[in-house]
Amino acid sequence: MKIRLKKSPNKAPMRMARKNFRDEKAKLLPEPGRIPREDTASVMKFYNLHKGFPKAVRAEAEQLAKENVLPDGRLDLRKKFIFTCDPQSARDFDDALSFEKDRLSRRVLGVHIADVSHYVKPGSAIDKEAFKRSTSVYLADEVLPMLPEELSNGLCSLVPNEDRYAFSVFITFDKHGEVVKTSFAKSIIRSKARLEYAQVMGIILGAEVPGIGKKEAKTIQKINELAKELRAKRFANGALDLEIPEMEVILDGAGEMSGLVARPYDESHQMVEECMVAANEAVAKELWTHGVKILSRFHDAPEAEKLYNLRAELHPLGIKTGNLENRKVFAQFLQKIKSSPLYPTVALMVLRSMKRAVYDSKEMGHWGLAKRFYSHFTSPIRRYPDLTLHRQLAAYLEKDVANYKIGAAVLAKWAKHTSEMEERAAEAERALLEIKKYRLLEEEIISHTKVEYEGIISKCEKFGCFVDIQELAVSGLVHISMLAPGYVKYNYNDHSLSMPGGRSWHIGDSLRVKIASVDYKNRRLDFVPADYLERAQNNRFDRKQKYSKSENSTEENDGKRKNRKMKFYNNSHKGKRKHGTNRTH
């Protein structure tokens, strides 16, 4: 917002301008609902998000739902052991896996993705709405799908024991884990098992899972062995292993947050992730190297200035980074600090220094994954760029040049729009999560339930230190007046705070805190050290004792002065009394 001010003899217009700027900034954040159950509606309204679909879209979806799934000249994989692996709460299943060996005993990984492009044709009402949304939005208590439920949870969902159209990617690996061949086919599959991550993890560890025989379990274990090889190769090539746990909010029936848990990220998750990365890379490389411009998933290297600032932030912690412009050195640095108690704090610093991955029509490559070619292909139910890539790959395989070669201007428009919609979705998800967390913390203050949290100092300033509560994924300020009763000094050499001859506070130090205040409007939290009230009471007691001693001392002094006066009075009247007596006689 630009504000133009005319010259004025007084400073009132400038004060007004600053006030307006603060008000404008505050409007960029959604307000909570009147009651917890209305928080989601408030966030949806703020970000212009909708769950329902226009009438024309619903009509098309209802018509498509009547279609039968037939082989239709596709590669028939219905007899193969193909399975899905998703969270327990998943409702749509858009990817599945298979594994076998070819005649040369080479490993062949099959990644089978729901063929959304078969149903959603360019220019249809569903397609226009899908482009408009560009992504599904996963709010704490609501899913806003990109596609109508008839497709996302029906025809395009790879549910078990149902025939489904898929787009299959086959990647052949040699004994060293190198890709020697890739192929693609429109297929029809019948998933044999809908597995959850916990079940797959059990199979990896050798546990028995109902419905999964020894042969099928062995297949899953072989996929995991391959995935571990691919993961190791990525990290050896300089991929960044930056593990920041995703937090999942737990809500009660009234829409209030009752807790926050970190989503698990174990070998089962890594297995699926590596398979998806391999498929995304294979499709991107096939099309890009053959001159087909696509929407890449582009992640650029961090800016030199950001890396300089990161080194400056890490220096006070005694952490040596090396040349972070070199991706392999960067990766080694992340591995080295993983065992440090400062890792969560450092990981957030690193994340802030990096650029966001975006969709791009001109550049190709993913710096964080250490991939020269990369795109999004594996989630067409919830991401529009994946759907466009399915269409281009299908046209490419059919040698339909008119449909796989898309103009640069159109691709640029798609890249800009889909990146913006993805960012909007992420902001909405984050905003609702923040509101729920702030409600929980505000309730602690109102109910006088002073919960103590283990915090980590993430930054020190002249006015106080910022503390991260990792179990809630929030950050707040502890003002210097709360740290100590006396003078607290800011040390420029190591960006710490200290009392002369007393305690000090450094980045990375633990500090137990309680919530002091919650500012919804500006999304700010103020903390106090957990021992602040005890210290304050002790200080009051000390002052009271000192005051009491001072009173006693005053009384003693008054008594001494009184005694001295009396002694002086008695001595000064001795002679007079004698003289008077003699005179009387």
pLDDT over 90, % of the chain: 67
Per cent of the chain over pLDDT 70 is 86
Q: Which pLDDT band holds residue 19 (cuts at 50, 70, 90)?
A: very low
CB of 248 within 8 A of CB of 261? Answer: yes
Which residue in the block uniquely carries the two structure tokens 């995304």? 280
What pLDDT does residue 539 have? 58
What's the pLDDT at 2?
37
pLDDT for 26 beyond 90:
no
Please report whether residue 31 resides in a domain.
no
Q: For residue 378, give the 3-state DSSP assignment.
A: coil
Of the listed ranges 257-271, 383-397, 528-542, the least confidently predicted one is 528-542
Can you give the CATH number for the domain in which 504 is found? 2.40.50.140
Render pLDDT for 30-69 as a digit per residue (tens, 0 to 9): 999 999 999 999 999 999 999 999 999 999 999 999 988 8
CA 199 to the chain's CA centroid? 25
Burial group, residue 279, by CB count within 10 angstroms (0-12, 13-18, 19+): buried
- Asked if residue 120 belongs to a domain, the reply is yes
CA–CA separation, 184 and 393 (whole Å): 9
- In whole angstroms, what is the distance from residue 360 CA to residue 399 CA? 24
pLDDT interval class at 15 (50, 70, 90): very low
| Domain match, 121 and 244 both | yes
| Residue 419 and residue 295 share a domain | yes
- Say yes or no: 95 and 199 in one domain: yes
Q: Are residues 372 and 461 in the same domain?
A: no
Give the C-alpha separation, 475 to 467, whole Å: 5
**Tens-place pLDDT, residues 296-322:** 999 999 999 999 999 988 887 788 889
The verdict on residue 269 lying in a domain is: yes
Picking from 530, 553, 571, the residue at the C-terminal end of a domain is 530
Same domain flag for 545 and 520: no
Domain total in the chain: 3
Q: What is the mean pLDDT of residues 338-364?
A: 90
Residue 542 CB burial class (10 angstroms; 0-12, 13-18, ≥19): exposed
Model confidence at 486: pLDDT above 80:
yes
Whether residue 500 sits in one domain with residue 401: no
Angle at 64 (CA atoms; ends 63, 68), nearest 5 degrees? 115
Whether residue 177 is found in the same domain as residue 241? yes
- The residue among 412, 440, 468 that closes a domain is 440
**Domain range for residue 548?**
538-585
Residue 332 is assigned to a structural domain of this protein: no
- Answer yes or no: do 436 and 483 share one domain: no
pLDDT value at residue 507: 86
Residue 525 bridge partners (DSSP)? 518
Contacts by residues 9-15 (CB-CB < 8 Å, ≥ 24 positions apart)? none
Asked if the model's pLDDT at residue 343 lies above 90, the reply is no
Task: Work out whether strand 247-251 and strand 257-262 pair parallel, antiparallel, or are unpaired.
Answer: antiparallel
In a domain, 333, yes or no: no
The residue that leads in pLDDT, 469 or 547, is 469
User: In terms of domains, do 162 and 232 share one?
Assistant: yes
Mean pLDDT of 149-157: 95
- Domain assignment present for residue 431? The answer is yes
Q: Which residues contact 144 (CB under 8 A, 6 or more apart)?
A: 44, 49, 50, 51, 133, 136, 137
Out of 189-198, 202-211, 383-392, 537-546, which region has the weakest mean confidence (pLDDT)?
537-546
Phi (first) and psi of residue 331, to 5 degrees: -65, -40
Answer yes or no: do 503 and 562 share one domain. no
Residue 481 lies in a domain: yes
Q: Is the pLDDT of residue 16 over 70?
A: no
Whether residue 518 is found in the same domain as residue 372: no
pLDDT mean over 516-533: 89
From 122-131, 267-276, 349-358, the region with the lowest mean pLDDT: 349-358
Same domain, 209 and 117: yes
pLDDT score for 584? 33
- The arithmetic mean of pLDDT across residues 280-306, rounded, is 96
Mean predicted lDDT score pLDDT of the chain = 87
Q: Report if residue 23 sits inside a domain.
A: no
